[in-house]
Structure 1
Amino acid sequence: MEPACKRHFIQDSCLYECSPNLGPWIQEVNQNWRKERFLDVPLCKEDCQRWWEDCRTSSTCKTNWHKGWDWSSGVNKCPAKAVCRTFEFYFPTPASFCEGLWSHSYKVSNYSQGSGRCIQMWFDPDQGNPNEEVARFYAQAMTSGAIYPGRGLFIPSLALILPLLLLV
């Protein structure tokens, strides 16, 4: 993996593991390796484009990194008979990459960074966290009965959105 590509995956992990602003998109799941996931987080189009550009010449063997790895050696390896090819082969567009890589954890937004309507993977923390405004906007829209921006009507449990409501 090219260093520029790896940098985005590190940032993605930090967002996933540490961001307090993904509450509106947390869904309960019944999987043996996790009980929650986020779904259809509106990722700013520039972040997706840059991530894809920096990774398109790196190699992978799968289109969905959430499942299907060979863990028999204790580390994840490509499944038998999987062919390593460029990311661009498996993901011909930025949207196919950002939306498919983690089973639709992200949905590429039509909005740009700074709009207050999409989650930014990259921002200057000295200027504040722009994702706070985004989380408030979507939490309010979801609790008012608005249509969920990703896949239709979304009714989160109060336990999932209470921390965000307290911010408002």
Structure 2
Amino acid sequence: MWVVLSLLMALCSGALSLDKLNMCMDGKHHKVEPGREGDLYAQCSPWRDNACCTANTSSAAHNDDSYLYNFNWDHCGIMSKRCKEHFIQDTCFHECSPHLGPWIQEVDQTWRKQRVLDVPLCMEDCNAWWEDCRNDYTCKTDWHKGWDWSSGINKCPKDSQCRIWTEVYPTPKSMCEQIWSKSYLYTTYTKTSGRCMQLWFTGPNPNKKVAQHYINNARQHQSFTLSMLLFLAVAPLSVVMH
């Protein structure tokens, strides 16, 4: 019994000690450890004080023919400038952010070992992204999978049809949650709430405090779970002793 208790305590202690507040994903272009990158380019520059991306990655994130993932934004005609700016910012957030630890999950894919799941985005960012893309076109709901890659870049799969954005994504929520396989979670939190991650920001990175909030919540939940497990494990011993 005491061996089981010791293992439970060790496991929970190990989970709590992980530095999820300042870490990089094990991805295709991510650095091993976050750090200062003073030469980050354009829309990626807000992360220059502490980034998981390099200057080269930040520059490539702005190119239509980027080597990062060979992804073609213009698969249903030329994407509008304002819409594309959001996808560039989304790429910068994904590649550069050192505060995604609470939402990083292990995956078994050839091009990455980890991904994010259900990152809570601020309502303003999702709404603005959807609004600026509403007159664009796409042929797919989930952009993570199902493309025709036979030419080396993504093309619409056979028998698919290019449709206006608002038909594919009727709401900002449907777009933010579906476009990258649940990487993001749509929230009604605003940027002043401290409860949602910001794709767009200036000055000090506000997402560190948000990540800290979710880490603290996770720790409290783990502590409660450990207490309950300890109680359930010890309770039978109490019965025997009495």
TM-score bracket for the superposition, by shorter chain length: 0.7 to 0.9
Q: Which amino acid is 1:106 matched to?
A: Y
Aligned residues: 145
Displacement of 1:42 in angstroms is 0.4
Task: Indicate if the aligned counterparts of 1:4 and 1:54 stay in contact, CA closer than 8 A.
Answer: yes
Task: Indicate if the aligned counterparts of 1:41 and 1:119 stay in contact, CA closer than 8 A.
Answer: yes
Structure 2 matches for 1:113-128, cutoff 5 A? 113-125=191-203, 128=204
Displacement of 1:32 in angstroms is 2.7
**Counterparts of 1:14 and 1:144, CA distance in 2:** 31
Matched, 1:7 2:85: yes
Which one has a bigger Cα radius of gyration? Answer: 2
User: Which stretch of the first structure deviates more once superposed, 23-32 or 43-52?
Assistant: 23-32
Match of 1:92 among 167, 170, 174: 170
Match of 1:136 among 206, 212, 215: 212
**Counterparts of 1:143 and 1:73, CA distance in 2:** 47
Structure 2 matches for 1:4-83, cutoff 5 A? 4-83=82-161
Task: Indicate if the aligned counterparts of 1:114 and 1:130 stay in contact, CA closer than 8 A.
Answer: no
**Counterparts of 1:57 and 1:93, CA distance in 2:** 13
Q: TM-score, normalised by structure 1?
A: 0.83
Report the RMSD for the aligned CA atoms in angstroms.
1.3
Provide the secondary structure at the position in 1 that maps to 2:221.
coil
Provide the secondary structure at the position in 2 that maps to 1:120.
coil
Displacement of 1:59 in angstroms is 0.8
Provide the secondary structure at the position in 1 that maps to 2:152.
coil
Q: TM-score, normalised by structure 2?
A: 0.58
Greater than 4 Å deviation, 4+ residue runs? none
**Partner in structure 1 of residue 8 of structure 2:** none
Task: Indicate if the aligned counterparts of 1:43 and 1:107 stay in contact, CA closer than 8 A.
Answer: yes
Displacement of 1:87 in angstroms is 1.2
Provide the secondary structure at the position in 2 that maps to 1:145.
helix
Unaligned runs of 5+ in 2: 1-78, 226-242
Deviations 1:81-127 (A, max 9, x none): 110111111000110000000011111112101211000111112xx
Q: Which amino acid is 2:215 matched to?
A: A
Percent of aligned pairs with the same amino acid = 59
